Chain A
Amino acid sequence: MNVHTSQSRTPAETALIDAFSERVGDLPGNADVAVARDTALEALKIQGLPSRRIESWHYTDIRTQLRSVAPFDAAAGSQPIAPLIAGSTVAAVSNGATISAGQVDGVTFEKLSEKLADGTFAPALATRSTDDLIGQINAAYVTDGWHVDIAEGAELETPLELQNLQKSGQSHVRFPVRVGKGAKATIIERQYGGEGEAFSSSISQLTVADGAEIVWIILRQHGDTSVQFCQFNAWLGKDAKLTLFVVNAGGKLVRQEVHVLAKGEGSDFQLRGINLLGGESHTDVTMTVGHLVENTTSTEIVRNVVTGRARGVFQGMIRVAKIAQKTDARMACNSLLLSDDAEFDAKPELEIFADDVACGHGATVTEIDQDHLFYLMARGIPEKEARGLLVKAFVAEIIEELEDEPLVEALEAILEDWLSAHG
C-alpha cells in the first residue's frame, strides 16, 4: 500500500532527482563544483518542485504543471541557425554543448565546461534562495555554455548572438557575460527549439562595469512541447545602462526570471517584455530589480497578447534600499486578451525603504477595441488583417523604442509570423 502525503514525489521530481546519479559521472567540474552541484540537488530534494503555496511560484504551480521531464538524448544536437540580424557574431550551444563561436575584436569566448573543470566557476553556481528552482536544477546539471568577455571600451558594431538550441531532449547551460568599463554592445540571447519534447534550463549572468551600455534581447522561439526555465541575472556598475528586451513567442511551459541589481550610482535599467501567448501554453515572467544605491533609475513595461487557452504571468518586484534615495522606478503591465479563455495575471510589487523616491506601477487588461476594428474594416481591411494591425499596434510601440532598424524589423517579423499562426 502506498501512503501519499503532500511530500510524496511527483513523477517529474523523481525524474529530475534520479537522473543525477546517472549523469554525475559525465558532468564537468572539480571538487568545488561537485560540492556546489550536490548542494543544489540537496536543496531540490528538500524543497521539491514549488507549488502555488510558495509565494514566488503562486501563479506557476510547477508541482502540478510539470507532468514529465524530457530525458537526456545524446542525439538531439543540431547546427547553429541563421542569426536574427545578419552579420551578427554567433556563439552557439546545442543540446548542452558548445558547438561554435565566431570571432570579433574585443570579445573573448571561452567554454564554460573548462571553467567548471578547473573550478573557477564554482562560486557562481550558488543558488539565489531556497525557492530558486531554476538555480537549483541548473547548478546541479549545467554542462556548458559560452563565457563571454567584452573588453573595456570595446564598442561592437554588430550584435553578439548567443544561441541555445534544444530541438528535443534535455539540457542545462549558462552564459556568463562580463562587460568591461565603457563598452557598448547588443547581445541577442536566442532560446530556440522544441520541435519534440524538450526540457531545458539556461542562466545568463551579466556584469556591466562602470559606464558600459548593453542592449540585451532574449528571444524565445520554442514549439508547444517545450518546457524552459531561464534566469537572467545582472549587476550594474556606476553609470551603467542595461536595456533588456524579453520576447516570448512559444513554449509549452516557460518561466523567465529576471533579477537585476543596480549597484552603481547613476545606473539605469530598462525592461521591455513582449509576451505572445497562444495555444495551451503557460508563460511566466518574474522580475526583481533592486535599487541599492542613490540616483538609479528603472522602467519596466510588459505588453502581453494572449489568445487561445494560453495563460501568462508577470510578477514584478521593485526593491529600493534604505540608502537608495532619488530612485526613480516605474512599472507597467498591459495585456490584450484575444479570446475568452485567455488569461493573464499581473502582480506588481514595490518594496521601498527609502523616503525620497519616485516609484509607481500599473496594470491594465483590454480587448480589441471594437470601434477601431470597425474603422479599419470600413476601409476594406478584412477582420483577420484588421485585428492583426491592432495587435501589432499594441506591441509595436515597445519594439520601435529600440531605435535600431534591423532589430526593429526582425522583431516585427517575429510578431507577424506569430500573428499569422495565432491571429
Chain B
Amino acid sequence: MLEIKNLHARIAEDGTEIIRGLNLTVKAGEVAAIMGPNGSGKSTLSYILAGREDYEVTEGDILYNGESILDLDPAERAAKGIFLAFQYPMEIPGVATMEFLKVAMNEQRKARGEEELKIPEFMKRVKDAAGLLSMDMGMLKRPLNVGFSGGEKKRAEILQMKLLEPKLCVLDETDSGLDIDALKIVSEGVNALRSPDRAIVVITHYQRLLDYIVPDSVHVLYKGRVIKSGDKTLARQLEENGYAEIIGEAA
C-alpha cells in the first residue's frame, strides 16, 4: 500500500536535509511502528506523507497503491485515503467542530464521486464514533480543538480518523500528552480500525503505546533513514537498551 523509495527531503526554507535515503514498505492490513530518537525525522516523515509544503522532496518517491503522490496537495491525498493524526492538533478559533467534520467528510465524498451525507446520517455517525471514544458531544459544539486538553485533542484526532475512514493512517506521537486511561481509549479506537484493507503507521518515541497497539513491524529511524527493521520484539529491545546500541551497529 505504501512504498517509500530512497526518499530525500529538506526544509524548503533553508535547505536543511532531514530525510536522507529513506526506504519503507507497509502492506495493506499491516501496522508498522516507526521509532527513533528525537530529531531522527519522524515527524518530518509524517508531514511529507500528508503533503506539507514546508518540505521539499529532492530525490526518491512515495508510492501509494502503486502511484506517486508527490504531486498531490494535502486535500487530494486525504481524499485518496491518507490520514495524518497530528502530534499537535491545531486549535482553530471560529471554525465550529461539527461544521468542520461535515465539510471534511462531504468534500472527501465529493472528491470520490459519492453523494453528500444527509444531516441525520452525519449526526448519527458522529454520535456513534464519539460514544466509542468516550467523548462528550458538548465538546464538539466548541470551535475546533479550542480549549481541548491534550488528551481531548488526541481523541478528537482519532474521532476524525474514524469518521473519514482512511486507508492509510499515520499517527504522529499520538501517545504524547496522554495519561494511561486516555492512552487505552485512544488505542482501542485505533485497534478498532485495524482491517485487512487498511495500513496504519504508528510513529512513536516510546514502546508504551506499542503495548496497546501491537505492531506487525517496527522500523528504527535515525538521521533520516531506516537503520533497522524487525518485528515487535525490536521495540522491546529498544525500550530495554535504548537507541545507542542499534545506532552503533548501523554506524
**Which residues of A are in contact with B by a Cβ distance under 8 Å?**
370-372, 374-383, 385-386, 389-390, 392-394, 396-397
Contact = CB atoms under 8 A, between A and B. Distances in A.
B164 A380 contact: yes
Nearest to A398: B94
10 contacts: A377-B73, A378-B51, A378-B74, A379-B108, A380-B104, A381-B103, A389-B100, A390-B94, A393-B95, A397-B93
A393 B92 contact: yes
Interface in B83-104: 83-84, 86, 89-90, 92-95, 99-100, 103-104
Given A382-B107, A389-B103, A377 B74 contact: yes
Ranked nearest first, the 6 interchain pairs of A and B with the lowest CB-CB distance are: A393-B94, A380-B78, A377-B74, A380-B108, A379-B104, A375-B90
Interface residues of B, number: 30
Given A371-B90, A375-B89, A393-B95, 12 more contacts: A374-B52, A376-B92, A376-B95, A376-B100, A378-B51, A378-B83, A379-B104, A379-B108, A382-B111, A383-B75, A389-B99, A394-B94
Given A386-B75, A389-B103, A379 B164 contact: yes
A313 B70 CA distance: 42
A380 B76 CA distance: 6
B45 interface: no
Interface of B: 50-54, 73-75, 77-79, 83-84, 86, 89-90, 92-95, 99-100, 103-104, 107-108, 111, 143, 160, 164
Contacts of B164: 379-380
Contacts of B93: 393, 397
Nearest to A397: B94
B57 to A, nearest CB: 16
Nearest to A392: B94
B74 A374 contact: yes
B24 to A, nearest CB: 20
B73 A375 contact: no
Given A375-B86, A376-B100, A382 B92 contact: no
B160 A379 contact: yes
A385 B108 CA distance: 12
Given A383-B75, A386-B75, A394-B94, A378 B103 contact: no
B103 A385 contact: yes
B30 to A, nearest CB: 22
Contacts of A392: 94-95
A381 B90 CA distance: 15
